[in-house]
């Protein structure tokens, strides 16, 4: 049987993992999923993810691609077997046959993240929210967030000494919402830089808590200097929530 390309869609709790990417002496999501596929397909399988989430970051929707020879009738059973084999922190949602040149990372046209904050101590969501004692000004943070839509270069929010070739991102949406004691930041872009969302959230919180003026947002972005931006919020509150691909990626 000829090799075919597949997209695997899954979600995970990143608490116990040292990020997405395989690395020596540290457990990664990529390594665990590859191990499961390799064991069940009885062949060494390498997967390429839609992006690299940092240590402790979670995903409600993530994609990766790999090549294998799988009978189409076996795909549904393979999803069940993978979920039986993998730890409870990783859930396989689907396996889809895609065109042979489809790429989980480069073909993605839109990605969305959410960051969760709680303004009360909550033992049931402590691991998935950043606890903030003081309530920030949501309206002020939303006003500051709209400034992001006027720019493309976000080097100021990127992890220092990163190996990317460009710092350009097309942010389509950036907004805050509040319901009772929970605050959520939602952001959508064609791509994201390493640590970008967490440093944007930290900067906006400093504005919302009146630790810096709203005018700083424009100056920080134009400076292209990570040192001028705000702190990076903890990874545990960050979720990759959605990835969109063109419909022609799939064969069905």
Q: Is 54 a catalytic residue?
A: yes
Which helix H or strand E contains 196, and what residues bound it?
A: helix 196-208
What is the full DSSP assignment across 156-173?
GGSPTT---S--B--EEE
Between CA 182 and CA 134 the distance in angstroms is: 12
168-200: burial string, b at 16+ Cβ within 10 Å, e else: ebebeebebeeeeeebbbebbbebbbbbbbbbb
Which residue has 């969760």 as its token pair? 116
What does the block give as tokens for 174?
A: 């950036």
Between CA 119 and CA 130 the distance in angstroms is: 8
Question: Active-site residue among 54, 122, 216, 225?
Answer: 54
What does the block give as tokens for 163?
A: 């190996």
Between CA 174 and CA 148 the distance in angstroms is: 7
Bridge-based pairing state of the strands 4-12 and 58-68: antiparallel
The answer to whether the beta carbons of residues 15 and 236 sit under 8 Å apart is yes
Bridge-based pairing state of the strands 58-68 and 238-244: parallel
Which helix H or strand E contains 197, and what residues bound it?
A: helix 196-208
What positions carry a catalytic annotation?
54
């Amino acid at each position: 049987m000829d090799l075919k390309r597949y997209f695997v869609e899954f979600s995970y709790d990143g608490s116990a993992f040292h990020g997405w990417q395989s690395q020596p002496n540290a457990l990664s999501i990529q390594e665990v999923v590859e191990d499961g596929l390799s064991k069940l397909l009885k062949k060494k399988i390498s997967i390429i993810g839609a992006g690299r989430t940092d240590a402790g970051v979670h995903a409600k929707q993530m994609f990766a691609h790999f090549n294998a020879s799988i009978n189409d009738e076996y795909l549904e059973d393979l999803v069940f077997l993978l979920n039986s084999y993998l730890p409870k922190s990783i859930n396989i949602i689907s396996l889809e046959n895609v065109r042979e040149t489809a790429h989980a990372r480069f073909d993605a046209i839109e990605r969305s993240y959410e960051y969760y904050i709680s303004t009360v101590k909550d033992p049931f969501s402590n691991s998935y929210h950043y606890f903030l004692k003081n309530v920030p000004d949501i309206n002020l943070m939303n006003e500051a967030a709209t400034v992001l839509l006027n720019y493309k270069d976000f080097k100021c929010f990127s992890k220092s000494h990163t190996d990317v070739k460009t710092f350009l991102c097309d942010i389509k949406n950036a907004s805050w919402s509040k319901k009772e004691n929970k605050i959520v930041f939602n952001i959508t872009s064609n791509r994201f830089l390493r640590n970008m969302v967490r440093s944007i959230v930290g900067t906006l919180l400093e504005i919302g808590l009146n630790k810096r003026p709203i005018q700083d947002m424009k100056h920080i972005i134009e400076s292209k200097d990570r040192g001028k931006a705000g702190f990076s919020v903890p990874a545990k509150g960050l979720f990759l929530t959605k990835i969109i691909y063109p419909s022609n990626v799939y064969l069905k």
